[in-house]
Amino acid sequence: MELLNINIPDWADLAWWLPEAILCGTFLVALLADLVVRGRRPWLPFAVSVAGLVTAGAYAVAALDPGTRTILGDLVVVDGLAAYFRLLFIFVGLVTVLFAWTAEEIMGRTRENKGEFFALTVLMTAAMCVMAEAKDLLMLYLSMEAVGIVSYVMAGYMRTSLRSTEASLKYVIFGAVSSAIMLYGLSLLYGMTGSMQFDGIRAGLMGGQVDDFGLLVAVILVIAGMSYKIAAVPFHYWAPDVYEGAPTPVSALFSVGPKAAGFALMIRFFYTTLAAGPDAAGSAGLVQQINWPLLIAVMSAVTMTYGNLVALRQLNVKRMLAYSSIAHVGYLLMGFVLLTETGLQAILFYLLVYALMNLGAFLFVVAINNHLRSEHLDDYVGLGFRAPWAGVMMVVFLASLTGVPPFAGFVGKWYLFIAVMDKQWFWLAIIAALNSVVSLYYYFRVVKAMFLTRPAEGANLSPLKLHWLQYVLLAVLAIPTLGLGLFFGQFTGLADRAILMMTTGF
Amino acid sequence: METFLFWFCGAAMVLGGLMTVVQRSAVVSAVWLIFAFVAAAGIFALLHAPFVAILQVLVYAGAIMVLFLFVIMMLQGPVLEGERRRMKPALWPAVAIPPLAVLVLVGTRIADHGTAAFTTPLPAGFGSPTHVAELLLGRYLLAFELISIALLVAIIGALAIGKEERKLPWK
Amino acid sequence: MEVTMTHYLVLAALLFLTGMTGFIVRRNAIVMLMCVELMLAATNIVFAVFARAHADGGGHVFILMNFAIAAAEAAIGLAILVEIYRRRRTVNVDDLKALME
C-alpha cells in the first residue's frame, strides 16, 4: 500500500529556476564556510557569496527570455517580469556584497559577524527573486515574510547604537502587525474566490459571485500590508530610523532591494488579479465602488511630498537619503495609478535607474564614513577637493536623483510623467514636478558642501584615499547613470518586453 | 453537540483574548493567551482540520508560548510593572468597535453571498495528517522549502541577536 | 441554533480586533507581540473556515506556514527585546526613544 500519494506536478521547467537554487545553495555554503573558519576569515564567505551571485547572474542573463515557465506546480512563474527583476536583484546584491567588503562599518576590526552579512545578503536576493515570481497567495505571503525576516535579522544584529536596536524592534513589531493585517485581507480573498492562485482569483472575480464590500475591504487590507513593505506614507514611519540605524551598506540594500521587490509583487498581483484589463479603470478595476486611481494618486502625491519636505530638514546625509527614498516611492507610485502598460514599463525602468543612483549615493556615504566616521553635512565640507573623483560621481548620483537632464533619473521620471499625463492626470504630474524642484534644494546642499563651501581655517584638507574597489563600483554605477540618460532605448526596450511578456502570458 | 462545542470553544477563545489584552501583568496575559490558543484548537477541530488543531496545541500553545513565558521569566520584574497604557480602558471599545463592525459586516456578507458554504462535501480524510502531507510535499513543495530556509534564518538571527557578547557561540 | 459560516467568521473578526486593540492600547512590547499572535490566530481561523467551505486543503497548508512565520517573527522579536532589556532595563515602548516618534 502506498503511504502517501504525492504527485509533484512538473519537474520539466525546474532548470529555469537555477538562479534561485544557486543563491539558496550559496547561502548555505557561505554560512557553513563561515562556521568552519569560525568567523576568522571573512574572505571565505565573501568569496563564496560573490561566486554564487556571479554564477546566478550568469544564469539569469542566459534565461532572460524565458517565455512563461511555471516551476514545480503553479506557485511561482518565471516570465519576462521575473527575469527582469531577477537580474536587477542579483546586481543589487552583488554591488552590496562587494561594497560591504570595503566598508569599515561591516569589516572593521571591532566588527563581528562579518560572514553572516554576506550569507544573509545572498539569501535576501533569492527571496526577493521569489517575490517577483510569486503567482499564488501563499507564495506571495511567504516570500514577503522571508524578505522581512532576513531584514529584521540584518537590522537587528548589525546594530551601530542602542537607538538602532530600538529602531529594529519597531521594525519587527510593526512589520508583524502589518503582515497580520495583510493576511486577513488575503484570507478574505481566498474565501471569496475559493482559490489562492492569482488567475484562479481573477476567474472567481470575473464570475461575479463575489461580494463587493468584502472585496473592497480585502483589497484595502492587502494594500496596507504592501505599503509597509515599500514604505509608502502612511506606512513609512519605520524607514528613516531603520535606515539610519543600520550600517550603511545594509541601508543601501534596504532602500533599493525590498522596495523593488515590493513593486514587482504589486505589479503582478494587481495586474493579473484585480485589473479589469489593459487600460481600464486602473489598479483594481474589478473592485468597484471606489476610485482606485484617485486613491493611489493621493497616496503617491502625499508620499513624495512628505519625503521631500522632511528631507529638507535633515543635516545627516544618510537620514536625508532615507527620506529621499520615501519620496522616490511616491514617484514610482505614479506609474501605478492607472496600471497601464506605459505606467508599468515606466516603473520597471525607473526602478533600474533608481537602483543605480540610490546605491551610488549610499555607497559614497559608506566610502566617506570609512574615513570621517561621520555622515553629517558639516563634515562633508571640502570633500570635493579631498576626493575629487568620488565627489564628481556623487554629483552625478545626486543630479540624477533630482531628475536633472541629461542623467538617467530625468529619463526615468519623464516616463513616469508620461504615464500619468497620457490619461490627463495633470495635477499629479504638476505635484511631482514641484517636488523635484524641492528636492533640488536638499540634494544640492550636499553638492554645495562638497565643492562650494569654504572649509574652516585649519580644517583637515588632506586627500582621502579610497579603496580601489570603491572607485570601480562607483564608476560602474555612475557610468550607466550618465549613459542611460543618453542611450536609454536599449533598456526601456527591455522593460517594455518584460511587461509585454507578463501581460500576454496570463 | 457541534453547536455546544462551538459556543463553548468560541466563548473561551474570546475570553482568553480579552483577558490577554486587559491583564496588566505580562505573565498572566501569556497564560490567558495559551488558554485562547487551546480553545482555538477546538475551533479548528470543529472546522474539520484535525491536523491543524493538533499543531495549534503543540506548536502554538506549546512551543511559541513557552518561548514567550521563558523570556518574561528571564526579564522578570520591570517587565511586569510600570506600564502606562496609552489610553483609559473606558476608551478601548471606541478603538475596537468601528473596525470590528466592518469586519463583522464583511464576514456576514461573504457568508450570505453563498459562493462558499459548509455544504460542500468533504473528501475522506480531509485535513488529516496524510492529506496535509500530500499537499505539503506535493503541490506546495516549493513553499515548504522556502519556509525551511526562512526558519533557518530566524534561528541564526535569534542566536546572533540574543547572544551576550559580541561573539557567536560557535566561534 | 445551527452554527453557520457566519458564526465562525464573526468569531474570527472578534479575535482579530481584540488583538489589534490590544496592540494599539498596550505599551509593553512583549504583550504587543502576543497581541500580534492573537491576530494571526484569527486569520488562521478564517483560513480554516474557507478551507472547509471550499473543501480545499490548501487553506490548511497556509495555516501551517503561518505557524512557522509566527514562530520566526516571535523568536526574532523576543531576541531583540532581550537585547534591549539588557541595555536599558525596560521593554516599555514609552521609554524607548526610537519608538516614540
Please give the pLDDT value at position A280. Answer: 45
C73 vs B contacts (CB less than 8 Å): 154
pLDDT digits over C54-78, tens only? 888 889 999 999 999 999 999 999 8
**Class of the CATH-defined domain B1-80:** mainly alpha
B64 vs C contacts (CB less than 8 Å): 37, 70-71, 74
* Chain B CB within 8 Å of residue C29 CB: no
B114 vs A contacts (CB less than 8 Å): 209
**C35 CA to chain A: closest CA distance, Å?**
9
Q: Name the nearest CA neighbour of A17 among A59, A53, A80, A48.
A: A59
pLDDT at A475 over 80: yes
**B7 CA to chain A: closest CA distance, Å?**
23
* Closest CB to C55 among B82, B121, B140: B121
Q: Which residue of A has its CA nearest to C95?
A: A166
Please give the pLDDT value at position B148. Answer: 92
Please give the pLDDT value at position A98. Answer: 92
Q: Name the nearest CA neighbour of A137 among A85, A204, A80, A84.
A: A204
pLDDT digits over A304-360, tens only? 999 999 988 888 888 899 999 999 999 999 888 877 888 888 888 899 999 999 999
A190 vs B contacts (CB less than 8 Å): none
Q: B20 and C65 in contact by Cβ < 8 A?
A: no
Q: How far is CA A134 from the centre of its chain?
A: 16
Instruction: Give CA–CA dist A307/A240, Å, rounded.
Output: 10
B122 vs C contacts (CB less than 8 Å): 52, 55
Please give the pLDDT value at position C46. Answer: 92
Q: Which residue of C has its CA nearest to B104?
A: C10
DSSP summary character for residue A453? S
> Do A256 and A355 contact (CB within 8 A), yes or no?
yes
* Closest CB to A165 among C19, C43, C80: C80
Between residues A207 and B146, the one the model is more confident about: B146
Mean pLDDT of C11-38: 88
Give residue A268's pLDDT band: very low, low, confident or very high (50, 70, 90). Answer: confident
* Rounded percentage of chain C residues whose pLDDT exceeds 90: 36
Please give the pLDDT value at position B77. Answer: 58
Instruction: Give CA–CA dist B140/A137, Å, rounded.
Output: 12
Mean pLDDT of B93-118: 76
**A159 CA to chain C: closest CA distance, Å?**
11
Please give the pLDDT value at position B164. Answer: 58
ipTM of the complex: 0.93
* Chain A CB within 8 Å of residue C96 CB: yes
Helix (H/G/I), strand (E/B), else coil: A161: coil
Among A158, A169, A217, A319, the strongest candidate for a mutation testing the C interface, having the largest count of C CBs within 10 A, is A169
Chain A partners (3+ C-beta pairs within 8 A):
B, C
> Do C41 and A176 contact (CB within 8 A), yes or no?
no
**A431 CA to chain C: closest CA distance, Å?**
27
Q: B142 and A149 in contact by Cβ < 8 A?
A: no
Task: Show the domain range for C77.
Answer: 5-100
pLDDT at B82 over 60: no
The cell 580601489 sits on which residue?
A: A468
pLDDT digits over A203-245, tens only? 888 776 777 788 888 888 999 999 988 888 888 888 888 888 8
Integer angstrom CA distances of residue B100 from A107, A210, B21, B96, C53: 50, 21, 16, 6, 23
Between residues A223 and A494, the one the model is more confident about: A223
Mean pLDDT of A459-484: 83
* Closest CB to B153 among A142, A153, A191: A153
pLDDT at C48 over 60: yes
pLDDT at B123 over 90: no
pLDDT at A10 over 70: no
- The three-point CA angle A171-A92-A297 to 5° equals 60
> Do C92 and B83 contact (CB within 8 A), yes or no?
yes
Instruction: Give CA–CA dist A391/A364, Å, rounded.
Output: 8
Please give the pLDDT value at position B115. Answer: 54
Q: A73 and B142 in contact by Cβ < 8 A?
A: yes
> Do A167 and C98 contact (CB within 8 A), yes or no?
yes
Instruction: Give CA–CA dist A422/C87, Å, rounded.
Output: 55
* Closest CB to A192 among B110, B146, B160: B110
For chain C, the domain total comes to 1
B6 vs C contacts (CB less than 8 Å): 3, 7-8
Give residue A142's pLDDT band: very low, low, confident or very high (50, 70, 90). Answer: very high
**C93 CA to chain B: closest CA distance, Å?**
9
Give one DSSP letter per residue of A51-78, joined into a string. Answer: HHHHHHHHHHHHTS---SEEETTTTEEE
Mean pLDDT of A13-36: 87
C7 vs B contacts (CB less than 8 Å): 6, 10
**B2 CA to chain A: closest CA distance, Å?**
22
pLDDT at A86 over 60: yes
pLDDT at B79 over 70: no
Q: Which residue of C has its CA nearest to A144?
A: C69
Q: Which residue of B has its CA nearest to A156?
A: B161
Give residue C47's pLDDT band: very low, low, confident or very high (50, 70, 90). Answer: very high
Give residue C101's pLDDT band: very low, low, confident or very high (50, 70, 90). Answer: very low
* Chain A CB within 8 Å of residue C75 CB: no
B118 vs C contacts (CB less than 8 Å): 4-5, 52-53
The cell 525576516 sits on which residue?
A: A149
pLDDT digits over A27-71, tens only? 999 988 888 887 778 888 899 999 999 999 998 888 877 777 877
Q: Name the nearest CA neighbour of A256 among A398, A385, A362.
A: A362
Cell of A173: 513589531
Q: Which of A8-22, B58-72, B106-120 has the lowest mean pLDDT?
A: B106-120
Instruction: Give CA–CA dist A215/A263, Å, rounded.
Output: 21
Which residues pair with residue A77 across a beta bridge? A70
Q: Which residue of C has its CA nearest to B56?
A: C67
Chain B partners (3+ C-beta pairs within 8 A):
A, C
pLDDT digits over A101-112, tens only? 888 777 776 667
* Chains A & B: contacts with CB separation below 8 Å: 119
Q: Which helix (H) or strand (E) holds A122?
A: helix A114-133
B149 vs A contacts (CB less than 8 Å): 24, 27, 123, 146
Q: Name the nearest CA neighbour of A134 among A204, A188, A201.
A: A201
Average pLDDT over chain A, rounded to an integer: 84
The number of residues making up chain B comes to 171
* Chain A CB within 8 Å of residue C25 CB: no
Q: A156 and B157 in contact by Cβ < 8 A?
A: yes
pTM recorded for the entire structure: 0.91
Give residue A282's pLDDT band: very low, low, confident or very high (50, 70, 90). Answer: very low
* Chains B & C: contacts with CB separation below 8 Å: 252
